[in-house]
Structure 1
């Protein structure tokens, strides 16, 4: 039973579909790709990336078929048709793009060469052009170049022409084809199941590690030994995955991407050896600096591990000379600012591609701070920066550091707070004003207010249980003023009653903000002499989730945003959100309806980005899972649900970490 191998152009495949010469056997599933996935395929073809092969079956015994999802009937074939076993999503998607299907209106940005589905914003932006308008029969390329240059005078006509010509070659891209001939239907079914039942797609870090293992035998043992070394020293998050990222960053000079493996294959043995030496040396300088000079004794305190990567390269490739105090402080200053400004909450690969080269310059700290927009002025934390921030915010990390520096002790055993404490002394965060009292108060405190960072203190689990739901008016008198002051808690007795809770929050935010600014100033480089600026780009912005469930388990999530120049609310299907997050965790982009608007769900390295109202909400699959799991636990009955007014968002979206969602 032969297997023929050949190649065929996309344009020819589209024609075969139109003529009914390519059909789908009944065993095929329906067409499921979202516009985001179609855009990703078109981009891969544009960039010349591998796009897989196609598997067909040809037989004289015509099987049952299902319709191809192209939106129009096909002709009766004049030849024996081919039955598509593997590649339906790709072939159908390309047919849709080349025939102007309304659900495949993929557009191309002539400036940054990106692709996405058409939206209200791209329709108004002269940098975007529909892919079909470039590929349709009889198009005048010179006319397109002239029109796009007129609309985008900063782009040279030669560059525009080259990009359009490159786009125009997509129909001539050839797919490798394998054709099974005369196989019986039952055996073809077995082949189909095996081909289409692969495991979870590799994440970029998995693929990089697999590539390194094949390219550099013994590397996994090196990574595991190094991970064990740091686990024994309190930095268990320096695991194999993180070390893979660090090694890739040191070798390639940027973060992981879907195409890092090809560049790792091309790396020489000397480059890999040098990169690994950089990682080991950098960690052995950086971790003690964080532990001893900053008080970040354990990696579980750090909101982001990615922020360490440029500093590993900086210290790992630095000449073997004394590290003066000013340089050490500058490194920690950038680390703090990059952390609380969520430097890597989106476009991780791009930003690491800026920061790792900056770490290799003669003035690395100045270059790194410049990438953050810090040139002349230092940074200050204002009370407004802390509004709406909660346990997931990087300011939570800062609040621990300032309490520890102030000498904060546990409210039961009077032992200095420590991330290393275990058992009954294990550190927890405590609601100063208890949640139970605030939830039922006549002032109708919102969830964001109740869980506000200014209502959290670091004490042991035992102390937390002893205090339980008691009011500060009840348990504060059992503590001395010093025990409260070191936790940055106001001593004014009038703020201890739930009626004055909002005044308590405002006052404590002021104390925390001053302490945080003082901490930053300890490490601020002397050449930052201008007036300080606010730290947080989402200062004063709040995003809240509330879930409502039916007895059947179907849920609705209502997102409410305040700040970023507007108040907005919108409905999201909890089931659909779970589905797109599950796909994103496997590396597959998707689409989601948010507030009546279809938005792309994109995977950037391990970060998942979802536009929600005025924000681009970002986080890892684990972070999304924790936030949504919390909402599921706190779900209200559907009887309490009030339908928000649908409202799309057309302005620029502000990056917002999902860990800051309340």
Structure 2
């Protein structure tokens, strides 16, 4: 069998030269540098002492056939080792890197030729070190083309009276020898598929890291100067960063004139005033939605192939396919970024009751729902006024059934194709008839509520159903569940955990069942303490009847019963004690399932 990669070695100086001349693309140098300064120092120390620093891994993009004949050579992309190479460029070449706020900063590594050998001779530059003549404040000066060793060493010795000139000269020579240190480089064949490259990466990478398809795609996009890939990549990065930190806009505006002059600036600026965190996408989300929407495919590995010009039928690579693919991806990203599209979609989630990011866990379900929203907006068979309702139904169905957990790409790919073939509504009816049968509502859904996890789909949809119905929290008449969903401290136990531990020695897995949870004001929870349900529900009922004060603010029995029904509390709660706990859980799961079913069918 033919080897899928080759191994060679390059000096540090050669690697930096290949990158400087564009022979190896390292687009991530224009994204935030994730290493802290001490890691850069440690890398310099390893290179200085000749310790191994791990392999670099490159992958050559396939050669592409050009219109009219001829072939364009694919660019070699660094797919593992970006942080190490960026650290070397920062410390040795003196190039600035971007911090988390996308600000260009220098990382200066200092070197002490007089160190005693017990510790590293390198340090991250500080004001104190900068004033100490024993330290070379910035080692990058030694690697500059016009560096003069004789003058530098002479000046250093003069500034450090009594030092050993031979030792100083020897150690500075050792430092400069870093440029000649050999780095292993694994070059993966151009005809390897993305999956094969990923498998090679995982097997070689000692940390067992996973190389994501989105990372591949972002590297491919950023390395393609012909199609404006780097600016597109930057727009995606900025959009995602702004979604989390709107104040970042001022940094972009002040420091990136090139981006501000691009078409993308106007498309992301609206995020400067956005404070909604229901759906804060990362670059993986942007790429997936844009790809699904514009290419009608679900497997992100196909995006990298298409951007490379892959002709899946002819099994070769063509420039016109790469041209079309970049244009389609550009259009998809722009539609994703659109203020009207994004806000209308998140409004659909919010109006369905998903008013907090705390009850949105499946990015796969959200991403597919956004793709569906963009697709249905262009479907002439579906009235524009109905689009959000269909998106809500599909999203809730996919969350309840865990449709996009596990091998989600394959399922997304199949769903996209089926929707294209059948039309959305016929396919929706087919899926819901199959997955949301009577058996699901009566048996499977209650079983899904046998869990302690508040991140399970059934619980989150239940909470969304309460938010959409504007339900009040337990024992209150105006304090809405929707207002406190994001505050975990307001989820309390109907059968108090202290009570269950004292009475039946209940373990955590039993008293922390989600069917034992309800939203409750802290003052009420404190007043309830370790009381049994029979006792404190009885206090609430009797206080209303006798008009005595109590921990709640419901003033009549009709409102109390309505409140209990909204919170899925069984009617027999007034007589329940520890021995009834398991029966209580079973009854409440059925009530919660009924509430979810009614909620879904009313969307």
In the superposition, the TM-score normalised over structure 1's length comes to: 0.45
Which structure is higher in strand share?
1
